[in-house]
């Protein structure tokens, strides 16, 4: 199948490579030359513009940072036309970015009016999952559009959930990431407390991983350097999931909570902590670097 892939960052790059490895013809595009160079090194064709990438594509996958990027790309910005005017009628858009459900619904409505199908399919599983092709997809859209997307999603992920109509994938994703943001802070606090008492972070992490405090951070993404060789913490918090992206997701969760009058006190507190951490210059570092707020210097 001919696929356009837009957004080749920490997640999109490896996802596009997996589609290419599965035998699809992928035309990829990113505004960053470095991001393009990384996937070109794996043999993918790089388009000169997003418009070029979607030329003749039966499916368009997007993996962009936030709502404004997705809206700008598909609907247009600053008077420039959006990609919906360039994508072939009958094609399918799979947007895997984590954005506001309302933005997914807005883009889906405009796509539908142009005869183009749209699903929101945000992911969980981190950069490790993107590379291994074991992501979890949370899909919002019709049964028929999900079935069209499924063969592609299966090449990038191991779990595919249908959360509901367009936007429902995004809602599931922000619930998950609110929990992830909170549990990374809790895990960081606990490790920092143990270390302040002279415990070895590796030993303490293993004890908690096998006890009632066990969680995903302790399994795969320990925030303390050196505990997990492949975690961002052991690579000076490079790559991974940026603090500013977590901050964005916690902001989306709070906006959503206000709209439905839900009580999310820990989500609110977590947002404030990541905001403080970002203001201290750590916005680009992996979100697990939030442990630095708790470790004694």
CA–CA dist 297, 288 (Å, integer): 17
Of the two residues 116 and 131, which places its CB atom closer to ligand NAD in the complex? 131
With CB under 6 A as the contact rule, the residue among 126, 157, 169, 201 that binds ligand NAD is 126
Q: Residue 121 interacts with ligand NAD (CB under 6 A)?
A: no
Residue 139's nearest CA partner among 22, 154, 270 is 154
Q: Residue 171 interacts with ligand NAD (CB under 6 A)?
A: no
173 is catalytic: yes
CA–CA dist 64, 79 (Å, integer): 20
CB of 135 to ligand NAD, least distance (A): 8
Q: List the interface residues with ligand NAD, window 233-292 (CB under 6 A).
A: 240-241, 245, 249
Beta bridge partners of 157: 135
CA–chain centroid gap for 73, Å, is 17
Residues in CB range of 265: below 8 A, 6 or more apart: none
Are 76 and 82 in contact by the 8 Å Cβ rule? The answer is: yes
CB of 114 to ligand NAD, least distance (A): 19
SS3 for 94? strand
Give the torsion through C-alpha atoms of 276, 287, 174, 121, to 10 deg. Answer: 140
Q: List the interface residues with ligand NAD, window 25-64 (CB under 6 A).
A: 29-32, 35, 50, 63-64
With CB under 6 A as the contact rule, the residue among 108, 123, 146, 182 that binds ligand NAD is 123
Q: Residue 7 interacts with ligand NAD (CB under 6 A)?
A: yes
With CB under 6 A as the contact rule, the residue among 98, 104, 256, 264 that binds ligand NAD is 98
CB of 206 to ligand NAD, least distance (A): 24
Of the two residues 177 and 264, which places its CB atom closer to ligand NAD in the complex? 177
Q: Which residue has the tokens 């949370």?
A: 138
Find the residue with minimal CB distance to ligand NAD: 9
**Region binding ligand NAD by CB under 6 A among candidate stretches 84-92, 122-130, 216-224, 271-279:** 122-130
**Region binding ligand NAD by CB under 6 A among candidate stretches 24-32, 40-48, 160-168, 256-264:** 24-32
Of the two residues 194 and 289, which places its CB atom closer to ligand NAD in the complex? 289
Residue 64 CA: distances (Å) to CA of 11, 43, 119, 166: 9, 22, 15, 18
CA–chain centroid gap for 12, Å, is 9
Q: Any idea what the Cα angle at residue 243 is, between residues 240 and 247, rounded to 5°?
A: 130
Of the two residues 129 and 194, which places its CB atom closer to ligand NAD in the complex? 129
Residue 94's nearest CA partner among 147, 42, 47 is 147
The catalytic residue positions are 173
Q: Which residues of this protein are in contact with ligand NAD, per CB under 6 A? A: 6-12, 29-32, 35, 50, 63-65, 69, 73, 97-98, 123-124, 126-127, 240-241, 245, 249
């Amino acid at each position: 199948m001919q696929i356009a892939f837009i957004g080749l960052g920490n997640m999109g790059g490896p996802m596009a490579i997996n589609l290419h490895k599965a035998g699809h013809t992928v035309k990829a595009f990113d505004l960053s030359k470095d991001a393009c160079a990384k996937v070109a090194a794996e043999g993918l064709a790089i388009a000169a513009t997003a418009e070029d990438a979607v030329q003749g594509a039966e499916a368009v996958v997007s993996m962009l940072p936030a709502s404004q990027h997705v809206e700008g790309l598909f609907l247009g910005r600053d008077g420039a036309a959006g990609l919906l005017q360039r994508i072939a009628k009958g094609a399918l858009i799979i947007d895997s970015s984590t954005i506001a459900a309302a933005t997914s619904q807005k883009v889906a409505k405009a796509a539908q009016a142009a005869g183009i199908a749209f699903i929101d399919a945000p992911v969980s599983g981190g950069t490790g999952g993107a590379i291994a092709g074991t992501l979890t997809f949370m899909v919002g859209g019709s049964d028929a559009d999900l079935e069209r997307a499924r063969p592609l999603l299966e090449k990038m992920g191991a779990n595919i959930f249908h959360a509901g109509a367009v936007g429902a994938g995004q809602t599931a994703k922000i619930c998950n990431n609110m929990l992830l943001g909170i549990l990374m802070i809790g895990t960081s606090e606990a490790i920092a407390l143990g270390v302040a008492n002279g415990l070895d972070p590796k030993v303490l992490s293993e004890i908690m991983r096998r006890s009632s405090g066990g969680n995903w951070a302790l399994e795969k993404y320990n925030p303390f350097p050196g505990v997990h060789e492949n975690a961002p913490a052991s690579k000076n918090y490079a790559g991974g999931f940026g603090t500013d992206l977590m901050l964005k997701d916690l902001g989306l969760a709070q906006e959503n909570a206000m709209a439905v009058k839900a009580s999310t006190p820990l989500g609110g507190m977590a947002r404030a902590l990541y905001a403080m951490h970002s203001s201290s210059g750590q916005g680009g570092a992996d979100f697990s670097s939030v442990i630095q707020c708790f470790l004694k210097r």
